[in-house]
Amino acid sequence: MTVQTETQEQMDALLARVNAAAESGPGGGARMTLGTIETILSRVVDIESEFMVTVPQSVPTLQLLSAIDFDAEAQTWHIAYEVMGREDCSVLNQYGRTLYLTRAGNAHSGDHENACLSAEVSDAACLQQLALRYVVPSAAADSAADSAEDLLIFAKASGIWSTLTPQPHSLVQRLDLFIPHSVVKSQLARRNVRASATFGQQTCYTFGVSVHFLLAGRNTILFDSFELVENAHLQAQVARPCHTRW
């Protein structure tokens, strides 16, 4: 049996009558269940209301597709991501994206000390801080850079290079990042030496890769940290990456 009412008040009254009838029925006040009434709470929203909150249709995502890969011939590290794109056909999710890397391993614990996470920092100041403290694409280092634009592409002339490939019928895009090992050691990573019972003294290089999403004054940083270890034979191997998201 299905019972429908036109208003919430009528449904409340109906449920009150059913409860009262069950409590006063046979059995000395014991509740008897003869059936079940299922209700769905609904809400009427005025779409023209200035107070209506819109739920984002897509959220910032940065997914590592596989472990960091090393090309021994080119002496280059390759990192592949899937990153959420912008919605050009909607007023929602028009965030600007900036790809940045650590400078001398200066970010720790998910880069939670990044100035862009402060509500007091303007969008323009955020880009300036990224360009000052991190390694960013040349377009992001430009003083005239627009925080609403996508700044994900490193030109190959800079030593680091990246490509962005759209996926069919999807907002998700593939982001490929290529970093020479010499650049990791000289620019991006902090260097530590630790003792190993098997390999003796090992040199470790720790660096981070992140995408900064700027949406209507609310910043999101998705940050990955990688640790590279040189063994006694001077061959680079990858320790288990630490992926931290903020």
Max CA pair span of the chain: 87
190-196 and 161-166 strand pairing: unpaired
Average pLDDT over residues 64-80: 93
Residue 141 pLDDT class (50, 70, 90 cuts): confident
pLDDT of residue 199: 73
- pLDDT digit string, tens, across residues 96-119: 899 999 999 888 778 888 988 888
Q: Give the C-alpha separation, 236 to 154, whole Å.
A: 24
Domain chopping of the chain, boundaries: 1-44, 62-245
The Cα–Cα gap between 133 and 153 comes to 18
pTM confidence score: 0.69
- The more confidently predicted of residues 11 and 216 is 11
Sign of CA dihedral 147, 149, 150, 155: negative
Q: How confident is the model at residue 85 (pLDDT cuts 50, 70, 90)?
A: confident
pLDDT confidence of residue 40: 58
| pLDDT tier, 153 (very low <50, low <70, confident <90, very high otherwise) | very high
- Average confidence (pLDDT) over 16-28: 70
Mean per-residue pLDDT for 120-132? 88
Specify the pLDDT at position 244: 42
